[in-house]
Amino acid sequence: MTQEIQSYRGPSAGGELGPAAGQAYSTEAASTGSVVIALRRRWLMVLLLWLLPAGVLVPYVWLRMQRTYTATAQVQVAPARDPILYPDQDSRVMPFFDAYLNTQAHRISSHQVLTDALADPAVRGLALVERQDPVAALRAALSVENLSRSHLLEISVTQTEPEAAVRLTKAVVDAYMVRVVRAEEAEQSKRLEVLEAKRSQLGNQLRQKRAEIQELAKEYATATDSMFNLLREGIVQSTLETRREQERAELEIIQLREKLRQMEEGVAASALSQEDAAYREQAIEKDPLVRSLREELLAVSGRLVQLQSALTEEHAEVIAARDKKERLQEQLKKERIRAAGDADKETAARRERSLEGTKAGFKQQIEAAQRHRQVLAEKIKGEEAKGMAIGLRGLEIQKLQEDCDKIKQEYDQVNEGIKREEIERYRPARVTIASGAELRPDGIRDKRKKWTVLVLVGALFAAASAALFKDRLDSHLHAPTEVEAGMGLPVLGVVPCLRELKSGRVTREDFIESYRSVRATLSAIGAGGVAPKSILVTSAQPGEGKTSLAVSLAASLAEPGSRVLLIDGDIQAPQIGRLLKLTAPGALETVLTGQRSLSESIARSNLTGVDVLISGLNGQAAGRTFNNRSAARIIREAAEIYDHIVVDSSPALSAASTLVWAHIVDGVIISSLASQSDTTAMRLACQRLRTVGARLLGSVIGNVSRNESLYSYSVSRDGCEDAGRPTVRKPRKVRGLPVVQLPDDGNSSQSAGY
């Protein structure tokens, strides 16, 4: 029978398995299958926790609970018509009839009705009536249900005796019927009183509104809408005419202002008129200097004419007279310019005086037009206020009239309601008994079976939950998937439990095959299909089967014909020499110190192809002789002679020598035991080994129980017990490789056949 080999996902770039190595199983660990395995592992706890409450509650249910009998009766409540809201529709029922039915249901379970029911002579002598608080007991046993889409109220009373249930139901119905008849009579009288008071109140309001309308209509001698409309139309027409006149006044003011502006701009921009030009010339000529120079110029001109007629042009007197004439002309020209400026100022002042007179006339006309406009505005304001007052008065009278109409309509409805209430006195009763108290077949119930099932299921669920909770708190290794998911290590193989081998559940061939599976997995890891050259076997804590695994792995590697060296590297507490009953010419300490060579210190074992380098070191003396350089020298020399080197070291968390070996060898295998190894310690050990750069090849789990197939294992609480009861097979003799196994107490020993 060949065991299936688990696939290896390969190391990461640093020689170790990456975090993703365990993530593939995270979903599987939380699956339903893992829950079932956990429950099988804790089956005894589940059974005890289930039987304890179930054994107490099931008898309690059957002793305390009794068969119950429910008697029912039905009361019919007829819909009521509302004459006030619907005076012309007799077929309309009262709105919110369902709410009215609910009110009647509460009335049935009221304290007054229940007290009357308990006072009925028909219920005397019943156990419920003799209780300390019979009303509360009856209310607890009573149930009133409003049957949907009907006018029925179903009254039910539940008791442990059928006769008591019927008698109490009948008493409640009778008490309710007496109460409801009285309540209807009182309610009808009250409604009639309310309607009478409402009619008186509405009559007073109607008279008051009409008096207010007459008071408001006195000023205008009318209360009709048509007359108020005519008055408002007259005011509106007058206001429109006044607004037109106001607009004409506005237009006249605008025109006068425009003329004044045009006159001012025209006078400033236009040339001088002929009258102003003549006045200017006269002003220039009247200037004394201009007049004096002109007279002197005339005299010089006449003198020049005389000299020219008597003398030649080159004569000095003629030249002097001519020069003087030119000087006078030039001086006269300047004086005329000066006189022209003075004349311009006088002309402008003269024009300004004339313009001011014209502007004053325009301003007077504008002021008169503005006063007229103001008078028109005040007139419009008065007419609008008058129209507003007429409109408000009309609206107020109209509102009062509408209020009168509403009050009159409500007054008529109240009168109609009073008439209908008087007629209602002669109608049949609204509440009648549809069916009397009786015990129906469906009123007999026995809840003990249902509660028994609920108790059993609830206790089982609570027990399973407690077991799962305890399993989650347990840090021991139970399943191979915990190694994958928790530490990121592949499972190189699983070794069956020794008890199952002794009991015949597995054969020695199956036991040997588990180590062959480990060898095959290591071959898949190594380059070229060959297992790593040097392998360190360690564990997180002592007693986790590392020595047995190292010996068995060495034997399995040597099975195909390879030469294997098994080194007892546990310098703190060496076990291989005692386990294999070997005495060697030398020991590990002599090779480390260089006293003897490796070949001289190796011992031959009774395992085919396996040589052993046992250790004589122990305790504190080991630290003085063991070091990294000497250990590396041993591995290097052994690699030249042997195909594989298997080193059994101390636990990773208890000795530093393990870290030295892990740094030197090609790969590290962590040994673990199901239901014994602590997952927290294993994670810490992996962390320490990764710190020194060790290549973690995976883990081999021992002490694993299986059910049916060679690779389908489920670990129980003690590591060996199966949930089922498999067929015991007698162990058969197997020729071939002997097997080193680990007892349940965690100490190494040699099995039969070594």
Look at the block and give the residue holding tokens 């386990």.
579
Of 257-266, 659-668, 744-753, which gets the smallest average pLDDT?
Answer: 744-753
- Residue-wise pLDDT for 500-521, tens only, equals 777 777 778 877 888 888 888 8
Of 114-128, 462-476, 519-533, which gets the smallest average pLDDT?
Answer: 462-476
Q: Is the pLDDT of residue 522 over 80?
A: yes
Q: DSSP letters along 678-691, please?
A: BHHHHHHHHHHHHH
Q: Is the pLDDT of residue 537 over 90?
A: yes
The pLDDT assigned to 427 comes to: 62
Short-list 461, 475, 477, CA closest to 46: 461
Q: DSSP letters along 300-362, please?
A: HHHHHHHHHHHS-TTSHHHHHHHHHHHHHHHHHHHHHHHHHHHHHHHHHHHHHHHHHHHHHHH
What's the pLDDT band for 722 if we cut at 50, 70, 90? very low
Are 375 and 315 spatial neighbours (Cβ–Cβ below 8 Å)?
no
Residue 89 token pair = 């529709």
Look at the block and give the residue holding tokens 């030649």.
312
Q: Is the pLDDT of residue 259 over 50?
A: yes
Q: How many residues does the chain have?
A: 754
As a 3-state breakdown, the chain gives helix, strand, coil percent values, each rounded to 5, of 60, 10, 30
Are 486 and 683 spatial neighbours (Cβ–Cβ below 8 Å)?
yes
Residue 503 token pair = 């009991």
What's the pLDDT band for 26 if we cut at 50, 70, 90? very low
User: Which is higher by pLDDT, 141 or 349?
Assistant: 141
Q: Is the pLDDT of residue 707 over 90?
A: no
CA atoms within 13 A on the CB side of 633: 15
Eight-class DSSP state of 445: E
What is the C-alpha separation between 469 and 483, in angstroms, rounded? Answer: 20
- Residue-wise pLDDT for 64-120, tens only, equals 777 888 999 988 887 755 444 444 444 444 556 777 788 888 888 889 889 988 898
Q: To the nearest whole number, what is the mean pLDDT of the chain?
A: 77
Q: Is the pLDDT of residue 680 over 50?
A: yes
Strands 696-704 vs 491-496: parallel, antiparallel or unpaired: parallel
Distances, alpha carbon 257 to alpha carbons 246, 249, 254, 368, 625, in Å:
17, 12, 5, 13, 128
Strand order through the sheet with 152-159: 142-146, 152-159, 68-77, 431-445
Q: Is the pLDDT of residue 2 over 60?
A: no
Are 550 and 566 spatial neighbours (Cβ–Cβ below 8 Å)?
yes
CB atoms within 10 A of CB 1: 8
Collapsed DSSP state (helix, strand, coil) of residue 194: helix
Distances, alpha carbon 729 to alpha carbons 131, 502, 503, in Å:
70, 10, 8
What is the C-alpha separation between 731 and 508, in angstroms, rounded? Answer: 7
What is the C-alpha separation between 494 and 196, in angstroms, rounded? Answer: 99
Look at the block and give the residue holding tokens 């006249």.
252
- Residue-wise pLDDT for 207-228, tens only, equals 888 888 777 777 666 666 677 7
Distances, alpha carbon 21 to alpha carbons 10, 17, 33, 575, 691, in Å:
9, 6, 20, 33, 18
Short-list 564, 561, 537, CA closest to 549: 537
Helix H or strand E segment including 71: strand 68-77
What is the C-alpha separation between 329 and 297, in angstroms, rounded? Answer: 7
What is the C-alpha separation between 154 and 150, in angstroms, rounded? Answer: 11
What is the C-alpha separation between 20 and 9, in angstroms, rounded? Answer: 10
Q: Is the pLDDT of residue 413 over 80?
A: yes
What is the C-alpha separation between 9 and 353, in angstroms, rounded? Answer: 120
The pLDDT assigned to 554 comes to: 92
Dihedral (CA of 400, 403, 408, 411) sign = negative
The pLDDT assigned to 95 comes to: 54
Look at the block and give the residue holding tokens 């006072």.
119
Of 431-440, 445-454, 662-671, 701-710, which gets the smallest average pLDDT?
Answer: 701-710
What is the C-alpha separation between 363 and 47, in angstroms, rounded? Answer: 121
Residue 15: exposure state from Cβ atoms within 10 A (0-12, 13-18, ≥19): middle
What is the C-alpha separation between 672 and 742, in angstroms, rounded? Answer: 11
Look at the block and give the residue holding tokens 């059993």.
456
- Residue-wise pLDDT for 338-397, tens only, equals 877 777 777 777 777 777 777 777 778 888 888 888 888 888 888 878 778 777 777 888
Short-list 192, 172, 67, CA closest to 122: 172
Are 11 and 17 spatial neighbours (Cβ–Cβ below 8 Å)?
yes
The pLDDT assigned to 753 comes to: 30
Short-list 584, 579, 609, CA closest to 599: 584
CB atoms within 10 A of CB 686: 24
CA atoms within 13 A on the CB side of 223: 17
What is the C-alpha separation between 181 and 178, in angstroms, rounded? Answer: 5
**Residues near 753 by Cβ (< 8 Å), separated by ≥ 6?**
508, 738, 739
The pLDDT assigned to 709 comes to: 37
The pLDDT assigned to 553 comes to: 92
Dihedral (CA of 558, 564, 569, 573) sign = positive
Q: How far is CA 315 from the centre of its chain?
A: 128
Q: Is the pLDDT of residue 724 over 50?
A: no
Are 440 and 72 spatial neighbours (Cβ–Cβ below 8 Å)?
yes
Could you tell me the pTM of the whole model? 0.46
The pLDDT assigned to 279 comes to: 73
Q: Is the pLDDT of residue 716 over 60?
A: no
Short-list 559, 529, 588, 565, CA closest to 644: 565
The pLDDT assigned to 620 comes to: 56
Look at the block and give the residue holding tokens 């009861």.
725
Of 230-234, 237-241, 613-617, which gets the smallest average pLDDT?
Answer: 230-234
The pLDDT assigned to 31 comes to: 57
Strands 644-649 vs 534-539: parallel, antiparallel or unpaired: parallel
Share of the chain above pLDDT 70, in %: 81
Residue 2: exposure state from Cβ atoms within 10 A (0-12, 13-18, ≥19): exposed
Residue 484 token pair = 């994958």
The pLDDT assigned to 136 comes to: 92
Strongest mean pLDDT among 32-41, 504-513, 726-735: 504-513
Are 579 and 749 spatial neighbours (Cβ–Cβ below 8 Å)?
yes
Residue 549 token pair = 């695994």
The pLDDT assigned to 489 comes to: 85
- Residue-wise pLDDT for 269-306, tens only, equals 455 567 667 777 777 777 788 788 888 888 888 877 88
**Residues near 344 by Cβ (< 8 Å), separated by ≥ 6?**
280
Compute the average pLDDT of residues 398-402. 84
Of 184-188, 315-319, 440-444, which gets the smallest average pLDDT?
Answer: 184-188
